[in-house]
Amino acid sequence: MRSSGYDNEALALDPSPPTHFPSSGCTQSASVERVPGSRRTPDLISCAPPQIKVVAAARKLATMQAPRADAYVFDIDGTLLVTRDLVHWNALHQAMLEVYGVDTTIEGIPYHGKTDLSILRAALARAGVDDGRFRTGLERALVVIRRDVEAGHDAIIPMVCPGIPRFLESIQKAGKLIGVASGNLEAVGWRKIEAAGLKQFFSFGFFSDGCESRAGIFRNALTYIADKLGPWARTCFVGDTPFDIEAAREVGAAIVAVASGTFTFDELTACSPDLCLSDCGQLFRD
Ligand SMILES: [Mg+2]
């Protein structure tokens, strides 16, 4: 009946057997499939009692549907892709060393879901750099990050998250406006997206260059969308952290949370997104 699952407000699921739907609108599909360190555990299902197998099979057939929207705006890290290199990491290190004279890294900083500016601020504060010194050196630090990522972009190794190409193709085919809202610096974010082969899907992007808060980045995206489509345009953000959910709520937009990054399905569900997915592959039946 449905050829794709991106454009209906209701959550859809095969009729039987019944499957639990949390009140947030999210459907749990991961509870019998996930073990630490693994996104999917077919061995666990194959060893399960018959009734668990039946429920697991039903959940595999489930097709989730993203909130109806005119524009879809994606986070990068953990949502569109995961990088398996140190290009961005090393650029942040070099910026702190070169501009502030501090030989430190972002190791131990809870950087997932944070903007580059807030990550830098936290790492430097930990190393004893006060706010005034941070602000004084910030623009030069950003120049260093952009410079080093540009110089090393060939070494970026992105892994595209499951279901993302199909989701993007579907909403592009449907004529939706598609953009990026990321805590990366603009030059860094686009390089990652280019390396992943996804650039052709996006017509705009908002980043952290002049905006330390994620909600501020989201708000800038909404302003752009309203300018392009009108004040009543509906926007749905897609992100992988509680910070994406929080920012979308702050600006009054819908949010799809995907557990393709660091945070688990249960951690994201607890933040009550409009829809929570193990990954975007759940938007499609096959
Ligand atoms: Mg992210």
pLDDT in tens, 225-237: 999 999 999 999 9
271: Cα within 13 Å, side-chain hemisphere: 27
Average pLDDT score over residue span 203-229: 97
Q: Is 80 exceeded by the pLDDT of residue 1? A: no
> Ligand 1 centroid to 160 CA: how many Å?
13
Highest mean pLDDT among 7-21, 30-44, 160-174: 160-174
Predicted local confidence at residue 43, as pLDDT: 30
> Ligand 1 centroid to 113 CA: how many Å?
5
pLDDT in tens, 74-97: 999 999 999 999 999 999 999 999
Q: Are 283 and 65 in contact (CB under 8 A)?
A: yes
> Ligand 1 centroid to 75 CA: how many Å?
6
> Ligand 1 centroid to 73 CA: how many Å?
12
* Strand (E) or helix (H) holding 82: strand 81-83
Predicted local confidence at residue 128, as pLDDT: 96
> Ligand 1 centroid to 260 CA: how many Å?
9
> Ligand 1 centroid to 112 CA: how many Å?
6
Q: Which of 112, 168, 157 is nearest to 280 (CA)?
A: 168
In whole angstroms, how far apart are CA 225 and each of 17, 57, 165? 41, 40, 22
> Ligand 1 centroid to 79 CA: how many Å?
6
> Ligand 1 centroid to 98 CA: how many Å?
27
Average pLDDT score over residue span 259-275: 97
Average pLDDT score over residue span 117-140: 96
> Ligand 1 centroid to 6 CA: how many Å?
21
Predicted local confidence at residue 3, as pLDDT: 37
Give me the domains of the chain, ranges plus CATH numbers: 1-82+159-286 (3.40.50.1000), 87-155 (1.10.150)
> Ligand 1 centroid to 192 CA: how many Å?
13
Q: Which residue has the tokens 């938007």?
A: 283
CA 278, CA 39: separation in Å to the nearest integer? 8
Q: Is 70 exceeded by the pLDDT of residue 259? A: yes
> Ligand 1 centroid to 258 CA: how many Å?
9
Task: Give one DSSP letter per residue of 90-152, joined into a string.
Answer: HHHHHHHHHHH-----STTS--TT--HHHHHHHHHHHTT--HHHHHHHHHHHHHHHHHHHHHH
Size (the chain), residues? 286
Average pLDDT, the chain: 82
The more confidently predicted of residues 114 and 15 is 114
* Strand (E) or helix (H) holding 73: strand 71-74
Predicted local confidence at residue 113, as pLDDT: 81
Average pLDDT score over residue span 245-250: 97
Helix, strand, or coil here: 205?
A: strand
- Above pLDDT 70, what percent of the chain? 78
Average pLDDT score over residue span 30-58: 36
Contacts of 236 (CB under 8 A, 6+ apart): 66, 67, 68, 69, 71, 72, 73, 253, 254, 255, 256, 274
Q: Is 70 exceeded by the pLDDT of residue 16? A: no
Predicted local confidence at residue 50, as pLDDT: 44
Contacts of 246 (CB under 8 A, 6+ apart): 214, 215, 271
> Ligand 1 centroid to 244 CA: how many Å?
8
> Ligand 1 centroid to 17 CA: how many Å?
34
Q: Are 177 and 203 in contact (CB under 8 A)?
A: yes
